[in-house]
């Protein structure tokens, strides 16, 4: 065995070693390296294959020229997880596909190449295919240049664990996508075995049961006024229509039907943008229409989307907007000296808030509530009804969403009025804390009740808990302003 030369430091430019690579050679080199040093070992049997050895580990890479003149270094994997034989096979596969060279491994395929084929032949047919492709590309970025047959269970587990360090639930999703991909590869004859079969989920998931109370919905609404366009009115529309975030956030103006001279309207979500692949007409209450019309006036760019900052794409950055929203809620609670913080919640929980109120307060038929959520309710309809029934229940859903909008407006008005009284009381006592001006034209506009009904606070408190501030001052939610 050739004795390894003195190792070079990271900043030195000494030639790399060209040795007959064996397990013993690699271990000997690794054992001779001091901390902060590195030695590159070149494989004389495979042009461009290189092993970077440090005191803490060794990693394979392939140096290759692309487009005739540009040299790139492609990571292949870590040794010893990727053995010498498998590293050579992966290198040959990459060279075959990137340079067109005819090699003895020309029939080999890399994970990246197969993922592209999987995207063309399978994911392109799925409505969520883009998201699946993105998750696989991110989760297995370190393996994309590996020959597919050299990827084993340990490689997949390591990749999934890396995802789980920051996003455990996403790791479960990525694992599920990987299992589907490898099943496809086995079915197409690219693999003889399924390397991901039997790998358990990273975490046990439980269905969410967080339901924002009516008072919390009112707090969220006022915080939406504070953060403004585009996410403020977008989230208010999610509250009033109970649609999913991506369905509401990507609303196109061409999907709206707002007849002149009328207070309400209709919004058609096409099948291509609906989670269950079915188009649905969403009734727009008077409050929802006001939100839409106010948002349209606030747009600063021209484009097909209602909520946009570029005009070319729907607004993005929901996570950042959610953090801003939570900050405004916390500031408002601090200002009115409310006890505690709002428990963690997600935008999708707003749909559960509607469903709970529809059942407990509005007494909406469960089948109607399911259709408002664009569900095909397995618990409320028979198999025949789900397969053959195409009744939109538009009139029933319109009535349910109209009453829901009135309930939300009543809660918002109560919270706004209560906060104003607190401000007046504290200013009278000389304590004084600032009261901001209405953040939007919609917030300052008078509220009108379509039905003129009175929401009984005692009934709401019994179903949802006493979440309105200074409840003794407001034993019930009074009637909304008469038309």
**Beta-carbon count within 10 A of 314 CB:** 20
- What pLDDT shows up at residue 377? 52
8-99 is a CATH 3.30.160.390 domain: yes
Inform me whether the pLDDT recorded for 450 exceeds 50. Answer: no
Q: What is the pLDDT of residue 144?
A: 84
Average pLDDT in the 147-165 region?
91
Q: Please give, one letter per residue, the 3-state secondary structure of 95-121.
A: HHHHHCCCCCCCCCCEHHHHHHHHHHH
Strand segments (E) across 326-472: none
> How does pLDDT run across 192-244, given as a tens digit for each residue?
889 999 999 998 887 778 999 999 999 999 999 999 999 999 999 999 999 99
The percent of residues above 90 in pLDDT, for the chain, comes to: 43
What does the block give as tokens for 352? 């559960």
**Is residue 457 very low, low, confident or very high in pLDDT (cuts 50, 70, 90)?**
very low
The domain at 214-473 falls in which architecture? Orthogonal Bundle (1.10)
Alpha helices, H only, 429-477? 441-444, 457-464
pLDDT digits (tens, 9 = 90+) for 307-361: 999 999 999 999 999 999 999 999 999 888 877 889 999 999 999 999 999 999 9
Instruction: Provide, rounded to the nearest whole percent, the portion of the chain with pLDDT above 70.
Output: 77
Residue 106 has pLDDT above 60, yes or no: no
Measured CA to CA, the distance from residue 78 to residue 87 in angstroms comes to: 9
**What 3-state class would DSSP assign to 434?**
coil
Six-digit token string for 458: 């005692």
Domain map (residue ranges) of the chain: 8-99, 111-187, 214-473
pLDDT at 37: 78
pLDDT, tens only, 463-482? 444 444 333 333 334 333 22
> Please, which pLDDT band fits residue 189 given cuts at 50, 70 and 90?
confident
Q: Can you give the pLDDT at residue 265?
A: 95
Dist. CA 363–CA 356, nearest whole Å: 10
Query: What digits encode the pLDDT tens for the residues 115-124?
Result: 988 998 888 8
């Amino acid at each position: 065995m050739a004795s390894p030369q003195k190792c070079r430091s990271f900043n030195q430019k000494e030639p790399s070693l060209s040795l007959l690579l064996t397990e013993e050679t690699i271990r000997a080199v690794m054992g001779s390296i001091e901390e902060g040093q590195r030695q590159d070992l070149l494989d004389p049997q495979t042009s461009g294959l290189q092993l970077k050895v440090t005191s803490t580990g060794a990693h394979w890479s392939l140096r290759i020229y692309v487009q005739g003149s540009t040299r790139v270094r492609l990571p292949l994997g870590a040794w010893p997880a990727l053995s010498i034989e498998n590293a050579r096979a992966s290198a040959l596969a990459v060279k075959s596909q990137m340079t067109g060279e005819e090699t003895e491994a020309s029939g080999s395929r890399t994970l990246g190449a197969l993922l592209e084929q999987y995207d063309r032949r399978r994911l392109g047919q799925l409505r969520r295919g883009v998201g699946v492709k993105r998750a696989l590309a991110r989760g297995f970025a370190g393996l994309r240049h590996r020959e597919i047959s050299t990827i084993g269970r340990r490689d997949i587990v390591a990749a999934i664990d890396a995802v789980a360090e920051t996003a455990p639930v996403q790791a479960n999703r990525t694992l599920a996508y990987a299992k589907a991909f490898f099943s496809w590869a086995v079915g197409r004859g690219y693999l003889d075995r399924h390397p991901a079969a039997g790998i358990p989920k990273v975490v046990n998931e439980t269905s969410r049961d967080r339901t924002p109370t009516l008072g919390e919905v009112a707090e969220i609404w006022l915080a939406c006024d504070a953060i403004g366009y585009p996410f403020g009115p977008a989230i208010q529309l999610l509250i009033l229509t109970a649609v999913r975030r991506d369905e509401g956030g990507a609303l196109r103006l061409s999907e709206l039907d707002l007849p002149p001279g009328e207070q309400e309207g209709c919004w058609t979500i096409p099948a291509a943008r609906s989670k269950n692949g079915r188009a649905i007409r969403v009734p727009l209450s008077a409050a929802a229409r006001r939100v839409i019309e106010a948002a349209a006036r606030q747009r600063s760019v021209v484009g097909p989307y209602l909520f946009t900052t570029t005009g070319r794409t729907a607004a993005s950055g929901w996570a950042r907007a959610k953090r801003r929203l939570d900050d405004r809620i916390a500031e408002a609670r601090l200002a009115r000296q409310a006890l505690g913080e709002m428990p963690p919640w997600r935008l999708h929980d707003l749909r559960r808030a509607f469903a709970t109120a529809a059942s407990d307060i509005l007494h909406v038929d469960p089948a109607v509530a399911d259709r408002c959520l664009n569900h095909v309710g397995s618990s409320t309809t028979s198999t025949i009804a789900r397969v053959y029934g195409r009744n939109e229940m538009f009139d029933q859903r319109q009535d349910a969403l109209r009453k829901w909008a009135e309930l939300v407006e009543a809660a918002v008005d109560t919270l706004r009025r209560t906060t104003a009284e607190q401000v007046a009381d504290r200013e009278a006592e000389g304590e004084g804390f600032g009261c901001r001006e209405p953040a939007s034209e919609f917030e300052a506009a008078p509220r009108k009740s379509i039905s003129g009904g009175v929401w009984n606070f005692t009934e709401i408190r019994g179903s949802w808990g006493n979440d309105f501030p200074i409840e003794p001052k407001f034993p019930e939610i009074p009637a909304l302003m008469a038309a």
